[in-house]
Structure 1
Amino acid sequence: MLVWGYNINLCPDGIWCGGITSTCVLVMLVWGYNINLCVLAVLVWGYIINLCPGRAGVGVYHQPVSWSCWCGGITSTCVLVMLVWGYNINLCPGCVGVGSSVLWMNSLSLSQHTHTHSRSLSAHTHTHSRSLSAHTHTQSLSADTLSLSLGAHQNRQQLFFMAASLTGDRIQPDCDLTGRARAAEGFTMLGKRGILVVLISVAVGVYFLPSPINPQPYIFQGPPPLLEGPLAVNTRLQNGRRLFTGQLHGPESFTADQEGNVYTGTLDGKLWRINQETLTLITHMGQDLQECGSRTDYEPVCGRPHGVRLDSGGQLIVADSYFGLFSVDPQTGHKTLLLDSKTGADGVPFAFLNGLEISSQTGIIYFTDSSSRWGRRHVKLEVIETNALGRLLTFDPVSGRVGVLLDGLYMPNGIALSPDESFLLLAETSIGCILRYWLQGPKAGTKEVIMNNMPGYPDNIRLSDRGTFLVGLTTTRFRKLMPPFLDLIGPYPAVKRFLAKVVPLSWYNMLLPRYGLVLELDGEGEVLGSLHDPTGSLTWAVSDVFSHQGRLYLGSTDLPFLPVLEDWS
């Protein structure tokens, strides 16, 4: 709760001629400045109360001041929710008045007023309530020379020392400084201390701001593997071309029918059919708005299809990240909601539906909910938070029953059934790990880690034409001079909370290298080979690797094109 206070300075005739507006929040202190400059061509921004001989005005000051009039300008530094102490520094030609204007929550204040008369300056301060008081008066001896009386000089020194004591700087009582020199010195001292105080205030304010995430420490098991052997750098991923540039934005996952048609969903909530070089719109998962695809804020309205597969009846099964599981007729575009995200499972709604797979033997749909807290548009917060909030689930389209196979997963993403459907592989994106979950046999219902400490963060996993598994890495994790970003901040929840407070989500894109990488694995998690695009000339941030009729279709979450490899052998 903000408490506003006013330090009202009264002139000798009782006119209100200056004020400091200070913000106090609870018991925290905030430092700011009330700087009044009477120097030619100096611009002072802020709310002002001008008191000049014969005229007065109140407004926002943005004009140069003149030598002959007194103008009080307020420049307040209020950082976040902190409170304000202000130094009142008055600079006038040939004279100086330096005072400390202090506002506590009990309204203790020092009031100060300076006015001019025939190019001479009289400084008066009066106390009200619990205010400190000082009175100075100067008389003009000539048009170009000001002579200060001993009493006024001593009073100004007291005020000057009071300001110096607040800054911690030492001022010799007998220093022989001119008015302008003393003003400059006082301004410099206060300015240096003020910068430090402002920085401290910002840090304190940010510390007390609530963080949007509740992170847990996570330590990767070791440094990333060396790029050697089957991981050796190559350019195999560059031997392709881009299709539908500017038409497909973020084709994330793929499936295909017997006629050779390929289906995918994009960032704007649309489902598409691809036939060779022809692109056909099937339907919109949500509302058809012009803004769809322009910003992630529209995704909860427009929808975002992630996992896409065909069932035995030729219907598209779509996992929309926001709406739920759908059955879509690929010819007419008619949608049927199978499972609403609001319904969820075991009383927990789905927040981020992601990977999808369908058993050809039973028709059971396997899918992942990457987080029970974060939606897809906040995926970066989910990754930074590194909390085990994801689940692996099943849906029986015949009975409508939903089951939870695994919970407590770190952003579970893509899944792929083995050729005999005895197990499935599952990617835990935020920790760079691949699990094997047994569906049949003596280990049925158990999980095991088959690949850890990966050279990147896995997205979707797909079964290739030759029975191997292809894994797209959405972001690489390589050894460099510094550890990878998530490795670096993983053990420190306080650092994660701080970053989530102050760093906009879009800024993290600058940390993402333009490096394309696909891994080929066997069922035991052994790396058989890799495809690299070291410069991102074809693609990067690979989300899916779909092998169909000799082609590789490479997915992404937001790139505005579809990369295709004609030959990846």
Structure 2
Amino acid sequence: MSLFFFSPRFLFFATIIPILVSIALYRLDTFDPAHLPAEALAYSTNSIPPLFNDRFLTGADFIGVGRLNSPEDIAYHPDSGLIYTGCVDGWVKRVKVHDSANDSVVEDWVNTGGRPLGIAFGLHGEVIVADAYKGLLNISGDGKKTELLTDEAEGVRFRITDAVTVGDNGVLYFTDASYKYSFHQFAFAILEGKPHGRLLSFDPTTGVTRVLLRDLYFANGISMSPDQSHLVFCETPIRRCSKYYISEERVEVFIQGLTGYPDNIRYDGDGHYWIAMPSTVTPLWKLGMKYPFLRKLTAMAAKYGFDPMFMENAGVLQVDLEGKPIALYHDHKSSHITSGVKIGNHLYCGSLLHSHIMRLDILKYPAQKKL
């Protein structure tokens, strides 16, 4: 072998050229992440509950294995006893759950041709779907008719129609996580750290779509309060859930400084909300959220096929009506949990990654105080 390969000149060029190329690529890349607000980097001890089940995969069983492709949100219809969920292949599926997970029946119900995310039930038997690509959809109770209700507001199209809830007066409230990025680009929406999300309403009587709040950080899950006075909605990257008072048109913090990134939020009809968190705040996420240049490097790598979403220790946080934490069900081996719904004595969890719904008997495997 030639001694040239060990010469100082070769070693200099072998080192400096990749550095210069990397700097040039970094400067030329147009992705421009922003500094997040200070509260997004803070951690609140008020978000830590007194009770934990930190091994909730132990004892869990799995429903619809292989039949449910990334069931992101879960909605339970108490009259029919069916679970509705939207999958990445466009199917809204219905699941009849039995005591034995293996006996549960999965039905391909309606394919939206998009990516159904949030699901809620209308006042007259219809199923309301927030489809990331299509917009807000109304599916008749028999599944024979799908109607587009709205896909834009103030002349701006929804890019990630995310979650939906229905008021007792029939008005639909929903989130558009980003009007800049589409669903398959959602990682960039989070990495960019800019507020392109909106909270909206749609009145089926008038056909009017209103923007209630704008400049939200990846507006995600939404739930109506039991007294119908306000909504609770999540902003994922800044780890905050807020209240929006409908009549007063004002906002206040519900819970912030969460230990993970909130996705969907569901009210259980029994005085509690359940907030799904696809990941805890890992050391890598903590650094990335603090330093925009690291998020830019991550986004650049993602353009070449690198998965930027480091997720682990996912779980579901139970809080009371004032946002006070009660219990956290999580597991270090779990990731991508996007919804949690309490049905009877069981917690049902949807996922952005897995091919099943997870179920845990929380009476048999309760959250407890740490020793």
TM-score normalised over the length of structure 2: 0.88
8 Å Cα contact 2:43-2:259 kept in structure 1: no
How many pairs were matched up? 356
- Write the distance in 1 (CA, Å) between the matches of 2:145 and 2:327: 41
SS in 2 for 1:490: helix
By how many angstroms is 1:308 displaced?
0.7
Aligned match of 1:376 = 183
What residue identity is the alignment partner of 1:335? T
Q: Distance in 2 between matches of 1:247 and 1:434?
A: 32
Change (3 A) 1:526 1:224: closer
Q: Paired residue for 2:332?
A: 534
| Change in CA separation of 1:454 and 1:187 when aligned onto 2, cut-off 3 Å | closer
In 1, Cα distance between the equivalents of 2:254 and 2:160?
Answer: 25
CA deviation after TM superposition for structure 1 residue 208, in Å: 3.1
Q: Counterpart of 1:86? A: none
Amino acid at match of 1:453: G
2:190 match: secondary structure: helix
Matched, 1:199 2:7: no
The question of whether the paired residues in 2 share the 8 Å contact of 1:211 and 1:498 is answered with: no
Taking the aligned partners of 1:338 and 1:228, their CA distance within structure 2 comes to 39
1:520: Cα distance to partner? 0.8
Matched, 1:266 2:65: no
1:29 maps to none
1:453 and 2:257 are equivalent in the alignment: yes
Q: Match of 1:230?
A: 50
Provide the rounded CA distance (Å) in 2 between the counterparts of 1:226 and 1:448. 16
Unaligned regions of 5+ residues in structure 1, if any? 1-41, 43-182, 287-302, 479-483
- CA shift, 1:370, in A, is 0.4
Query: Are residues 223 and 398 of structure 1, via their aligned partners in 2, closer, same or farther at CA, if it must alter by over 3 Å?
Result: closer
- Offset of residue 466 of structure 1: 1.5
Q: In structure 2, do the counterparts of structure 1 residues 506 and 356 end up closer, same or farther at CA, with 3 Å as the change threshold?
A: farther
Match of 2:229 in 1: 422
Aligned to 2:148: 337
In the alignment, structure 1 residue 285 sits paired with structure 2 residue 112? yes
Q: Does 1:253 align with 2:73?
A: yes
CA distance in 2, matches of 1:505, 1:428: 28
Q: Distance in 1 between matches of 2:182 and 2:52?
A: 35
Distance of 2:304 and 2:280 partners within structure 1: 19
Is 2:342 aligned against 1:523? no
1:318-329 paired onto structure 2 within 5 Å: 318-329=129-140
Q: Post-superposition shift, 1:509?
A: 5.5
Is the Cα contact below 8 Å between 2:70 and 2:350 reproduced in 1?
yes
Percent identity between matched residues is 28
* In the alignment, structure 1 residue 275 sits paired with structure 2 residue 96: yes
1:406 aligns with 2:225: no
CA contact (8 A) 1:370 1:413 kept: yes
Change (3 A) 1:505 1:451: farther
State the Cα distance separating 1:274 from its structure 2 match. 1.1
Equivalent-residue separation in structure 1 for 2:58 and 2:225 (angstroms): 28
Partner of 1:492: 291
> What is the correspondence of 1:25-424 to structure 2 with a 5 Å cutoff?
184=3, 188-219=7-38, 220-223=40-43, 225=45, 230=50, 232=52, 234-236=54-56, 238-257=58-77, 258-276=79-97, 277-286=104-113, 303-339=114-150, 341=151, 344-360=152-168, 362-424=169-231
Tell me by how many angstroms 1:448 deviates.
0.9
- Residues 320-377 of structure 1, C-alpha deviation per residue, up to 9 Å, x if partnerless? 00111111124234211111x3xx11111111110100012x1000000001111111
Residue in structure 2 matched with residue 556 of structure 1 by the alignment: 351
Distance 1:249 1:445, change over 3 A: same
CA contact (8 A) 1:328 1:336 kept: yes
1:246 CA displacement: 1.1
> Do the aligned residues in 1 keep the contact of 2:92 with 2:112 (CA within 8 Å)?
yes
Q: Which has the higher contact order (CA 8 A, sep 6+)?
A: 2
Asked if structure 1 preserves the Cα contact closer than 8 Å seen for 2:178 and 2:218, the reply is yes
Q: Specify the SS of the correspondent of 1:208.
A: helix
Indicate how the Cα distance of structure 1 residues 256 and 223 shifts in structure 2: closer, same or farther if over 3 A, else same: closer
The answer as to whether partners of 1:329 and 1:335 remain within 8 angstroms in 2 is yes
Q: CA deviation at 1:233?
A: 5.2
Amino acid at match of 1:278: V
- Find the residue that maps to 2:222 and give its secondary structure: strand
Aligned amino acid, residue 292 of structure 2: P
Query: Structure 1: how far apart are the matches of 2:309 and 2:322?
Result: 34
CA distance in 2, matches of 1:492, 1:236: 33
Alignment-derived partner of residue 512 in structure 1: 311
Give the superposition deviation at 1:405. 0.8
